[in-house]
Structure 1
Amino acid sequence: MKNIIIFGLFFLMVSCKSNPVTKLDNKTEVGLKGNWELTSVSYPNSSYIKINSFGIADSQCFETSSWRFISNNNQGEMALRKAGCPTFSSDITWYVNQEGNLVLKFVGADVKAKTVKEGYVLKVANLTENAFQLFDTVDVAGKTITLVYQFNRIK
C-alpha cells in the first residue's frame, strides 16, 4: 500500500511539471505601449526592389500606417492608410521576448490568436520615449537584407 501511495505521488509530480514559459521583456513592452505611426520603411536598393511586408502589401504601403500597442494584455491594432495602397486593418497580438524580439501576429475578426499559425519575429531597436525601430531580415533572390521600420509616437 505504501508503494502505491509513493508511486501515485511521484506520478502526480511528474505529470504536473510545467512547460517552459517564454521570458518577456516587460520594460520594452511598457515602452512600446501607446499609439505609433510607421513613418518610413528602408532597405538597400528599395527603389529597385519591391518587398511584400507581412504578406499584406508592398513594404512602402506601410508608411503612414497607425499602430496601437497595449502592453497590459499584449494586444493592439494596426491600419494601413497610404493613398494608392490597399486598405487593411487588423487586430494584433504581440510580445517582446528576452532577446529583444517583437513576436507579432495579425488576428482577424472573431479569430483567437492561438489558432493563427503564422507570425513574425522582428528585432526591436533604438527605443526611446518617442521613437523606435523594428528590423526584419528577408531573403531577396538568395541574399539576406534588413528592412528597417521606423516608428514615431503619435501625440
Structure 2
Amino acid sequence: MKKLILLGVFAVLFASCKTSSITNTKTDRSSQVAIKGNWVVSSVNYPGSEYIKVNSFQLADSQCFVGSTWKFISNNNKGEMALTKMGCPAFSSPITWFVNKDGQFVLKVLDAGEKAKRVRDGYVLAVANQTETSFQLIDKIDVGGKLTDVVYQFTKVN
C-alpha cells in the first residue's frame, strides 16, 4: 500500500513538472499580427559573408534568399515562401510559423501536403527591429567555434 501511495505522489509530481520548450510557450500575438502579410528578403548579412558560405534552412546559400518572397498569415500561423533569385535553386513551400512570448520566431518548412506536426525539424530565430514596414530575423551559426549572427532583413510588399 505504501508503494502504491508513493508511486501516486511521484506520478503527480512528474506530471506537474512539465518542461517548457521553445515550441510550447505562449505566442506574442502583437508581433505575429505585425508580421502578417507579404514580405521580401531585401538582404542577408553576417560577418565574413564575402568569404564564408552559409546554407540557410538547409535549402540554399544564404544569398539565394535575397529577393525571396514570404507570406505570413497570423490567424492560423501558416504561410508560404519562395526562392526566386536567378542562379539559385528554385524552391517554393508552405510554412508554419509563430512568434513565442520570448520574441523567438519558430519556423517549419513543409513539403506539399505535409502536416506541421509530422515535421520534426524546425528553426528558431530572433525577431528584431520590427516596424510596420520591416523586421529582421536573426539566426545564430557557429563559425570557427564562435556564434555569429546571420541577419535576414524583411521589407513589406504592398
- Answering whether residue 68 of structure 2 is matched by residue 68 of structure 1, we say no
- Taking structure 2 as the reference length, the TM-score comes to 0.85
Unaligned 5+ runs, structure 2: 1-11
Write the distance in 2 (CA, Å) between the matches of 1:49 and 1:68: 29
CA distance in 2, matches of 1:140, 1:89: 28
Counterpart of 2:107 in 1: which secondary structure? strand
Deviations for 1:35-88, whole angstroms, at most 9, x for unmatched residues? 000010000010000000000000000000000000000000000000100000
1:91 Cα offset (Å): 0.4
1:135 aligns with 2:138: yes
Structure 2 CA distance for aligned equivalents of residues 82 and 88 of structure 1: 10
Of 97, 111, 115, 2:114 maps to 111
Q: After TM superposition, where is structure 1 displaced by more than 3 Å over at least 4 residues in a row? A: none
State the secondary structure of the residue aligned to 1:61: helix
What stretches of structure 1 of length at least 5 have no aligned partner? Answer: 1-13
1:141 is displaced (CA, Å) by 2.6
Q: Distance in 2 between matches of 1:145 and 1:22?
A: 26
Q: Secondary structure at the match of 2:76?
A: coil
- The counterpart of 1:25, out of the listed 23, 28, 50, is 28
Q: How high is the TM-score relative to the length of structure 1? A: 0.87
Task: Map residues 79-90 of structure 1 onto 2, 5 A cutoff.
Answer: 79-90=82-93
Are residues 1:57 and 2:60 paired? yes
Higher Rg of the two aligned structures: 1
